[in-house]
Amino acid sequence: MNKAKESYEYPLRLQPCEDRAKTLEWLSIVFLTITASLVYLVMGNSQAMKAALFEDLLALIPPIAFLVVSRIRRRPQSHEYPYGFHRAVTVGFLISAFALTSVGVFLLYDGASILIRQERTTIGTIDMFGFLVWQGWMMIAVMLLASIPLVFIGRAKKKPAAKIHDKLLHSDAEMNAADWKTGFATIVGITGMGAGFWWADAAAAVFISLNILYDGVRSLRDAVGDIMDRRPRTVDHLHDIGLVETMEDALGKLKWVRAAKIRLRENGHVFFGEIAIEPIDEAEPLKRIEHAEKEVYALDWRIRHVAVTLVTADELNERL
């Protein structure tokens, strides 16, 4: 098997899912670049629009990270990196989470400071073809344009994210799908300020910053958990995938296995682990190890590497 094929993580049947994910990420980059430019052009003195602009710029990080990481993780293992570059996915996830958290804290401080100081901002008018138009209408139109399509793009990313077990892609999809909250909060803030409630704009900015901060802290917690070799979880991090139990059940059905214990961890899209098996006797150890590996690898494409050892009952009991 050549190195290029060895470094490819997915079965060939999932190639269309990966290609679709890349297409959606490129679409996100183009769309977010356009909408961020429009938001910048009409934002004026609005704190809510400023927060929305930062969120659009932040939303560029996950798709860019996904596209960069998709190239890095394909590199074959080397002397310096004997386990390969699979965990580049988790590193990208961590960088994205840290950026979200940092900017969320900054925007929260910025918006809260304006509320505390009771700074009053106004939305002016602009001359369009000889007519004076309230700038707030343009802001609302831009936010509708920026928010609604992104929700559908986010939902479209969730299916390939689950199939290729990509947590960075799923986190990006969640951010996109929830973008309507930013759009709605911004429109409410602008409308409120236009109605004379000076605090509405800053309050909307605080809400947006809290939403960014929530996404960042949650993603940061999940990324750190993966780096700390937590048991594999679903792409939304809500549930254990149950693969350890599935592997133990499959091995338990082998006639020569008395008991087995497994430790499994995530390396990006794929899983690495150790299997300790207590055999019924000491016959044919090498053949039995090969048999166990074959059974385990057939269970799930995400099982990339497992180290199988045959142990005594006492040694098995010492394992987690």
Q: Name the one residue in this structure whose structure tokens are 């994205």.
A: 96
Instruction: State residue 131's pLDDT score.
Output: 73
Contact 168, 70 (CB under 8 A): no
SS3 content of the chain, % helix, strand, coil (to 5): 65, 10, 25
Q: How many helices (H) and strands (E) does the chain have?
A: 12, 5
Instruction: State residue 4's pLDDT score.
Output: 38
168 CB-contact burial (10 Å; exposed 0-12 / middle 13-18 / buried 19+): buried
Contact 270, 303 (CB under 8 A): yes
Q: Encoding tokens for residue 25?
A: 């990420």
127 backbone dihedrals φ, ψ, rounded to 5°: -90, 115
Local confidence pLDDT in tens for the 320 residues of the chain: 334 344 467 888 898 999 999 999 999 999 999 999 999 988 888 888 888 898 889 889 999 999 999 888 888 888 899 888 888 888 888 988 888 898 889 888 888 888 888 877 777 667 677 777 778 888 899 999 888 899 999 999 999 999 999 999 998 998 888 888 888 888 998 898 888 888 888 899 899 899 889 988 998 999 999 999 999 999 988 899 999 999 999 999 999 999 999 999 998 889 999 999 999 998 999 999 999 999 999 999 999 999 999 999 888 888 76
Please count the CA atoms within 13 angstroms of the CA of 304 that sit on its side-chain side: 20
User: What gap in Å lies between CA 281 and CA 204, rounded to an integer?
Assistant: 69
Instruction: State residue 320's pLDDT score.
Output: 60
Comparing CA positions, the residue from 110, 96, 244, 257 lying closest to residue 167 is: 96
DSSP class per residue in 212-270 = HHHHHHHHHHHHHHHHTTPPPB-TTSSSB--HHHHHHHHHHTSTTEEEEEEEEEEETTE
Q: What is the pTM of this model?
A: 0.86
Question: Helix, strand, or coil here: 279?
Answer: strand
User: What gap in Å lies between CA 92 and CA 97, rounded to an integer?
Assistant: 9
Longest dimension (CA), the chain: 93
